[in-house]
Chains A and B, each alone.
Chain A
Amino acid sequence: MKAPVKHLITAAFAAVTLVAAPLALAADLTDVGAIDQAAIGSMPAFVSANGQLAQYKAGLDRQFAVAIKGAHSAADQQRVAQSFQQKLLDRQRTVMGPLFARAQTAIASVSSSKNLSVVVDKRIVIFGGQDITKNVMDLLTSPGAIVPPVSTPPPSEVGYVDQAAIDKIPKLKAASEDFAKYDNDQKIAARQQMAKAKTDADRKAIFENYNKTVGAQRDKVLKPLVDQTQSVIADIAKKKNLILVIDKGDLIYGGTDITSDVQNALK
C-alpha cells in the first residue's frame, strides 16, 4: 500500500514540475528603468540654459525680421530663413549639447550600476519599473566629470521604432500629405461657413460636419496603413523575441532598435 502511494506522490510532483517548468525558465522583466524628464528639465542648469537660448532666439527673431524685409524673392526668403534656423541650431548645440551629454552619461552610469537594459520616459510607465530620476539628478549635481560605464547596455527585450523615420517611407508620407491637404481644405471651408453662421446651433452643425468628414477620410486613407505598420512591427518584434515595442520618442537609454527592419518590410 505504501509503495503505490509513494509512486503516486512522485508522479504528482513530476507533473507539477513539468507544469511549472516555464516559470523557472522565464524570469520576469525587471531591468526596466524610468525617468521623469520634466524633473530633469527643471534642474537649475537646464533652466538657465533654456533661458539663455530663449534670449538668443529673441535677438535672432529681431534680426530675422529685418533680414527678411530685404529678401524679395521666395528663394532669398528661404535662404534667409534657413540661415537663421541654422544659427539657432548651432547655439542650441553649444548651449544644450554639453548638458545633454552629461545627462546621457549620468543615465548610462546609473543604468549600468542597476543592471538596467532599457530606460524609458516615466510617462509611459503606469506601474512598476525602477524610477532612477533621483539617482540621475544626484549624479548630475555632483562635482566633476561623470565616469561613463565601461560596457554598453545589455541586449534588451524592449524594442523601439523611430516613428518619424517610418513616417518618411514614401507611401506613408504621400498618404499623410494627402490627408493633411484634405484636412486643410475642409478647415478652410468650415471657417468660411463659420464666418457666415448666425447661431451657435449653426456653428455646432458646421463643426460636427467638419469632424465627420475628416474622420471618414482619416479612416479611409490613414487607418489601413497604420494597421499594416502595426502588424509589421509586431511580426518583426516576435521574430526578434521582443516582448514589447515603444516609440523612440519615449526611449531614453538602451532598448533594441527595429526601425530599419520595419522600414525594409514596409517598402
Chain B
Amino acid sequence: MSKMLSSNRRAVAIVLCTIAFAACSKTVDVHSPQVRGVGYVRLDEILKKHPLYGQLSQIDSNIDALSLRALGPAVPKTGAEIARETQQLNAELRAAQARANDQLRARQNDFSQREQAAIRAAVVAAGENPGAAPAQAMQNTAAAQAASVTAQANSDFGKYQQAVLGQDQAAVTAVSRQLEARAERQYRQRADELSAKESQASLEMATRDSAQRISLRAKLNNLALDDALRAQVKAQLAALDRKESDAVATMRKNDSTTLAAYQAQLRAQTSADIAKQAGAIHDQTKAKLAARHASVSSQVTSVIQSLGAPAASSGSLSAATQTKIAQIDRQYKEQFKAEVGKTMADYNRTRTDLDARFAELHGVNATSQSSAARQLDALHRQRDQLYNQIVAQIQHEVQTIATARGLKVVFINLVAPVGGIDLTADAMKDVESLHE
C-alpha cells in the first residue's frame, strides 16, 4: 500500500513538473500552429557577424570603387572634344609654368633684397664702409637663367609630349587597320574555300545522278507514256532534284555555322591582338615620355644647383667681413634653393596630373583600363569564393540549431515571414563565437 502510494506520488511529481515546464518555459514551441516546424534566417544580417565579413566588405568596397573608376574615362570622345580638351590642358600647363616662373622671380627678388640688407648690416657692424659691399650679392642672372631654362624645358616637353601622343594614336590606328584587314582576308579565304567545296559537291552529285536523270528525261520524252506513269517519272525527277538541293542546302547551313564560328574566333583573336599591340605601343610611349620627363627634371635641377656659386668678393673689405659676407650669402642661397625646390615640387605635381590627363585623353591609359577590368574579374572571383565559404559556415551553424530545435525546414531571406521562428539571433551568436 505504502509502495503504491509512493509510486503514485512520484507520478504526480513528474506530471506536475511537466505542467510547470510547459507553463513556465519561455522557449517557443516549434510545433505550434504559428511555427509548424518552419524556421527562417536573415542571411544578410548573420553575414555581418561573421569573422570574415570585414574582408568581404573590403572586397565589395574595392569592387565598387574600381567599377566607378574603370567606367569613368572609358566614355569615347569625338575628335573635336579631344582637340578642345587638349587645348584646355595646354592652357592649364602654360598657366602652371607662368605661375611657377612668377613665384621664382618674386622669391628671387625678395631673397636678393634681404641678403643685400643683411650684408650691409654686417659691414656696418664691422665698422667698415658699406659702399664696399658687393652691389648684387644674390646672383640674379643665374636665378633668371634658372627660371628661363625651366620655362623653356617645360615648353619643349609639352611639344614633345603632343608629338609622341600623336604618333602613338597613329600607330595604334594603323595596327588596328592592318589586323582587321588580315582577319577579313582570312575570313574571305575560308568562305571561298567552303563555297568551292559546295560547288564541287553539287557538281559531283549532279554527275553521279546524271545517268538516272537522263534516263528519266528520256522516259518523259516518250509520247506513248500515260498520264499516271508520266506523273510518276516527274515525281522521281523532282525527288532527285530535291535530294541534291537538300544535300547542298544542308552543306551550306553547316558551312554557314562554321563560318560564323570562325568569324567570332577571328574577331576575338583580332581584338586580343589589337589590345596586345596597342598595349606595347602605349608602353613605349609612356617610357619615352618618362625618359624625357626625367631628362627635363635633371636639366632644371642642375640649373638650380648652379645657384650655389659664391658671391663675388670685394677686395676693400677685411678678411673677417668677407668671411661673414660669404657666410650670409651661403645661408640665403640655401634658403632660396629650398624655396625653389618647393615651387618646383608644386609645379611638378601639377605637371604630373596634367600628364596623366593628357595620357587619358589620348587613350594611352587604355592598358590601365584593361588592367582594371582584370583586377575586377579577380576581385569578383575572390569575393565569390569568400562569400561561399562564409555561407557554408553559416549554413552549418543554422543546421545545428535547426536540428537541436526539431525544425523541419529553414528558409533564408524571405519576402515576409508571417509565422515560423526567426533563428537569426541564435545563428548570429553562434557565428560570432567563431571569433573566439
Mostly, the B contact residues are helix
The smallest C-beta distance from A187 to any residue of chain B, in angstroms, reads: 7
User: How many of chain A's residues have a CB under 8 angstroms from any CB in B?
Assistant: 62
The smallest C-beta distance from A190 to any residue of chain B, in angstroms, reads: 6
- B38 adjacent to chain A (CB < 8 Å): yes
A58 to B409 CA separation, bound complex (whole angstroms) = 43
A13 to B413 CA separation, bound complex (whole angstroms) = 41
Assess whether B414 is in contact with A55, with CB atoms less than 8 Å apart: no
Assess whether B19 is in contact with A161, with CB atoms less than 8 Å apart: no
A1 to B357 CA separation, bound complex (whole angstroms) = 102
Binds B, one of A78-86, A104-112, A170-178, A243-251: A243-251
- B12 adjacent to chain A (CB < 8 Å): yes
Collect the chain B residues with CB atoms within 8 Å of residue A44's CB: none
Collect the chain A residues with CB atoms within 8 Å of residue B263's CB: 62
Interface residues of B in 238-288 (CB under 8 A from A): 257, 260-261, 263-264
- B353 adjacent to chain A (CB < 8 Å): yes
Assess whether A22 is in contact with B408, with CB atoms less than 8 Å apart: no
A25 to B37 CA separation, bound complex (whole angstroms) = 13
Collect the chain B residues with CB atoms within 8 Å of residue A159's CB: 418
Collect the chain A residues with CB atoms within 8 Å of residue B410's CB: 125-128
The smallest C-beta distance from A201 to any residue of chain B, in angstroms, reads: 12
The smallest C-beta distance from A232 to any residue of chain B, in angstroms, reads: 9
- B64 adjacent to chain A (CB < 8 Å): yes
- A145 adjacent to chain B (CB < 8 Å): no
B residues sitting closer than 8 Å to A (CB atoms) are: 4-5, 8-9, 11-12, 15-16, 18-19, 22-23, 29, 31-33, 36-41, 43, 61, 64-65, 68-69, 71-73, 257, 260-261, 263-264, 349, 352-353, 357, 360, 394-395, 398-399, 402-403, 407-420
A residues sitting closer than 8 Å to B (CB atoms) are: 1-2, 5-6, 8-9, 12-13, 15-16, 19-20, 22-23, 25-30, 32, 55, 58-59, 62, 120, 123-129, 157, 159-161, 163, 187, 190-192, 194-196, 198, 203-204, 207, 210-211, 230, 233-234, 237-238, 242-247
22 contacts between A and B (CB under 8 A): A2-B5, A9-B8, A12-B12, A12-B15, A15-B19, A23-B32, A28-B38, A29-B408, A30-B409, A58-B260, A123-B412, A126-B41, A126-B411, A128-B407, A163-B415, A195-B73, A196-B357, A242-B418, A243-B419, A244-B38, A246-B414, A247-B415
Known: A5-B12, A129-B409, A245-B416. 7 other contacts (CB 8 A): A123-B412, A128-B407, A160-B415, A187-B68, A195-B72, A237-B416, A244-B419
